[in-house]
Copies of this chain bind each other. A is one copy, B any other.
């Protein structure tokens, strides 16, 4: 191990090889403090070649590699285990925007760029990079790619996978693969970049990417719509798609329970319209505002929308979005919670909520469902707060049983137990219950073929053992 440390210092310079406890601490725990690990060292290479050299050295020494971006994983996907054997490879110094090509609508960036930096570089040439996340000031593109990040605009622009044209990555043996192509059509064999996107760093270290850009929307129309049920929200979604197609850029569902927590705990938040069991927050980009108003009028007249408001200013639109974005914060203030990041077919949203709500109410009387999410993608953040009667310890002890009910319900509807956050360490065992055996076996085959020594982020995803 000392020999490996010496090699790494030689490769990167001693100041980019962190070993002391104070310097390494921020890299050894996730930002929510749920996972704590240890490492031989944390290295901070400055370019792709240095990443390749580090991985080669680790491969030769049979030492595990844990790639880390902004360290904002919600499932412990970038935290080493407690053995202290791993080398954490922090990508933060690979933070250059390589090229911006407005005519090709592409931007080529290193993996350590923050998402916000990429958004800014796009905006500087009058283009949109559409991925947007709460952590965008901290999370990095390499992490966004490795977890195939989603967010509120997937409805229009797709996940990170759909936003990616080219990739550069270091393979587990240390070879540098340059697939930095900015092509919209390329049918010359297996699309290798797809392997690394969403692989949570288990098949290699992403070092750079070519991403798609879009025209910057010039106008946005934001509405808050009261709907009586999730089924009616889905019906409304499809009516909005039919009328506005790609101009519908967000369609979020919020329950009255979720809004209630925001109104109770977040200072300055006010009810935007009459109370209703469910709300939709819809955003239209570059649509004729008069057409949106006309459409909304028709929905109110038909009774499909009970009450609704169209933001009259950017400030009001931001306030509507703030209500949606404050739900997690409000739920944290309310007390402990059990969270799920699930997706089902959009047509099964109502059925999922009905089944899961009923099963939980029967098993845990008084449990409170705080449901909200990206209904346009079938993706719900289905969170549970404890009943007023229960204490925290008892509630948290029920988590495995709660998860079982929620995930079994999702599975019965051909849904997924991780829509956008990934597997990491958090769901590494849980996923084995739901994936077909053929699929798990194929995942293992791939992982062993590409990483025969099992050194790449061995704690994330099943299949390294």
Where the two chains meet, the residues of A that have a C-beta atom closer than 8 Å to any C-beta of B are 101-106, 126, 147-148, 150, 154, 156, 158-159, 161-162, 171, 175-192, 194-195, 197-199, 203, 214-215, 217, 234-235, 238, 241-242, 245-247, 285-286, 288, 343-348, 374, 376-379, 414-423, 427, 431, 434-436, 438-439, 441-443, 445-446, 448-450, 461-462
Q: What are the residues of chain B within 8 A of A175 when measuring CB–CB?
A: 438, 441
Q: What are the residues of chain B within 8 A of A415 when measuring CB–CB?
A: 183
Q: Which of A175, A183, A445 has the most CB of B within 10 A?
A: A183
Q: Which of B148, B184, B288 meets A379, CB within 8 Å?
A: B184
Q: Check if B191 sits within 8 Å of A423, measured CB to CB.
A: no
Q: A241-B215, A442-B450 are in contact. Are A346 and B104 (CB under 8 A)?
A: yes
Interchain CA distance A462-B445 in the complex, whole Å: 20
Q: What are the residues of chain B within 8 A of A241 when measuring CB–CB?
A: 105, 215
List the number of copies, as a whole number: 2
A-B contact pairs, 30 of them (CB 8 A): A103-B235, A103-B346, A104-B378, A150-B185, A150-B187, A158-B162, A162-B162, A171-B438, A175-B438, A175-B441, A177-B438, A182-B345, A182-B414, A183-B415, A185-B343, A185-B420, A186-B416, A187-B422, A188-B422, A188-B427, A188-B435, A189-B198, A189-B439, A189-B462, A190-B199, A190-B446, A192-B442, A215-B242, A446-B450, A448-B449
Q: Check if B416 sits within 8 Å of A183, measured CB to CB.
A: yes
Q: Check if B347 sits within 8 Å of A101, measured CB to CB.
A: yes
Return the chain B residue nearest A428 by Cβ: B189
CB distance from A350 to the nearest CB of B (A): 10
Q: Check if B185 sits within 8 Å of A416, measured CB to CB.
A: yes
Q: A178-B436, A286-B245, A446-B190 are in contact. Are A185 and B199 (CB under 8 A)?
A: no
Q: Check if B442 sits within 8 Å of A147, measured CB to CB.
A: no
Interchain CA distance A215-B419 in the complex, whole Å: 24
Q: Check if A423 sits within 8 Å of B188, measured CB to CB.
A: yes
Q: What are the residues of chain B within 8 A of A247 when measuring CB–CB?
A: 245-246
User: 4 closest A-B pairs (Cβ-Cβ)?
Assistant: A449-B449, A246-B246, A194-B194, A103-B347
CB distance from A436 to the nearest CB of B (A): 6
Interchain CA distance A175-B445 in the complex, whole Å: 14
Interchain CA distance A62-B104 in the complex, whole Å: 47
Seed contacts A183-B343, A185-B419, A215-B242; 11 additional CB < 8 Å A-B pairs: A103-B235, A103-B347, A105-B241, A158-B162, A177-B438, A186-B416, A188-B435, A190-B198, A190-B199, A215-B241, A448-B449
Q: A418-B188, A423-B188, A435-B188 are in contact. Are A102 and B183 (CB under 8 A)?
A: no
